[in-house]
């Protein structure tokens, strides 16, 4: 690859640090940019952007590159956080990291990099880009490390974005990234991976959401209609949730103390109109097993929907790829919505989350789940 000017998003973490080092080793002119995306309560114990910037600056110093601090907080609030709140208020469970990648990292950041004369941008995501020699189209592939693959979160990227993006660590396993960081004595070589949503960090989620959304308490009921407790507002729960329900085992009348079924409870349904949270006992309960879903707001890497037929999909990040049939509506505007019919039951399919399609290693695109049908439905 000829020498290029590449702007790397330096987050303060080890993946983006090794990304910058690898590109410099390849002879490119590398510039670091630290993105500040969140300003509310930035000095709290949970929000680490100041520490992260210090780490990113220390990395830039060791590698020998310039670093720029860029504030995208206004764009983030408008494009990502406002949508996040809208979805929660509607009773859905959005994935803000997908929106952040589409709107901030590969739009606001990409635009900024191009303005400062970049040929390409690079980030520390575990994914790969290649240009298909036959079609000339850019393809997004899974990262080589199956435990770290992040192509699910990048499913809204388009041809223009992929043509100008590099993911160097997508070709490596995480253990190798850590080894390189230690070998070249990066100051953040042992820094733990960040978890949690980009703007929430490690803070308690319900407490955070409570500042922006008023909860309306209501009953928690089981499938027989028994009231088991009170919820604090439907927005604060998601399908498949097990923790934080505040209900224990239920004893039948006349059952001995200590008797009863102690299988864990899971959120199964949210009745927005009646403000009821429905829960069921046991991970394998029929109310948690889905065979079909419908998704809207679709985005396809190639620019158009793939042919209907046999593919694989993820309906949530931590699940394995599942065999499915892609169904497209025959109506005008086809490709904006799609249906998936799964060969085997999918657990706790959740409106607001993303259904992402794969053909082997190649990530084709996806959409936001807006409805799902149970196996028994």
Quote the distance between the C-alpha of residue 291 and its chain's center: 22
Catalytic residue among 31, 65, 100, 102: 100
Comparing C-alpha atoms, which of 167, 96, 155, 98 is closest to residue 359? 155
Task: Quickly list DSSP for 108-139.
Answer: IHHHHHHHTT-SEEE---SEEEEE-TTT--EE
Number of residues that this document lists for the chain: 377
CA torsion sign, 52 to 353 to 151 to 165? Answer: negative
List 31, 80, 127, 198, catalytic entry: 198
In this structure, the number of other CB atoms found within 10 A of the CB of residue 116 comes to 12
Contact of 48 with 201, CB cutoff 8 Å: yes
Q: How far apart are CA 322 and CA 343, in angstroms?
A: 8
Cα–Cα nearest to 143, from 158, 134, 153, 132: 153
Closest CA relative to residue 205, chosen from 339, 58, 96: 96
CA–CA separation, 49 and 35 (whole Å): 9
47 in catalytic set = no
Tokens describing residue 373? 């049908």
198 is catalytic: yes
CA angle, corner 24, sides to 20 and 29, nearest 5?
100
Mind telling me the catalytic residues?
100, 198
């Amino acid at each position: 690859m000829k020498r290029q000017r590449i702007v790397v998003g330096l987050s303060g973490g080890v993946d983006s640090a090794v990304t910058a080092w690898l590109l410099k080793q390849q002879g490119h002119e590398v510039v670091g940019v630290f993105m500040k995306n969140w300003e509310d309560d930035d000095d709290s114990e949970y929000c680490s952007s100041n520490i992260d910037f210090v780490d990113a600056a220390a990395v830039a110093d060791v590698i020998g590159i310039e670093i720029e601090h860029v504030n995208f907080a206004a764009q983030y609030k408008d494009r990502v956080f406002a949508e996040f709140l809208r979805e929660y208020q509607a009773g859905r469970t959005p994935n803000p990291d997908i929106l952040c990648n589409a709107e901030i990292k590969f739009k606001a950041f990409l635009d900024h990099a191009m303005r400062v004369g970049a040929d390409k941008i690079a980030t520390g995501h575990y994914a790969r880009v290649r240009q298909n020699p036959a079609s000339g189209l850019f393809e997004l592939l899974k990262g080589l490390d199956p435990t770290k693959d992040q192509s699910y979160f990048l499913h809204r990227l388009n041809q223009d974005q992929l043509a100008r993006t590099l993911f160097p660590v997508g070709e490596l396993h995480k253990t190798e990234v850590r080894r390189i960081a230690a070998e070249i004595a990066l100051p953040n070589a042992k820094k733990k991976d960040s978890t949690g949503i980009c703007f929430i960090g490690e803070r308690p989620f319900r407490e955070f959401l409570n500042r922006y959304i008023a909860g309306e308490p209501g009953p928690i009921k089981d499938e027989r209609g028994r009231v088991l407790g009170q919820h604090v507002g439907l927005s604060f729960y998601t399908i498949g949730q097990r923790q934080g329900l505040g209900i224990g085992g239920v004893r039948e009348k006349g059952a001995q103390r200590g008797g009863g079924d102690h299988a864990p409870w899971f959120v199964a349904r949210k009745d927005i109109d009646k403000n009821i949270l429905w829960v069921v006992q046991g991970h394998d309960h029929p109310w948690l097993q889905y065979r079909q879903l419908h998704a809207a707001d679709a985005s396809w890497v190639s620019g158009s929907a793939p042919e209907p037929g046999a593919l694989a999909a993820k309906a949530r990040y931590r699940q394995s790829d599942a065999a499915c049939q892609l169904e497209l509506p025959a109506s005008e505007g086809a490709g904006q919505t799609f249906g998936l019919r799964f060969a085997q039951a999918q657990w706790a399919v959740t409106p607001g989350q993303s259904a992402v399609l794969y053909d082997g290693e190649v990530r084709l695109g996806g959409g936001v789940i807006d409805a799902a049908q149970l196996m028994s439905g």
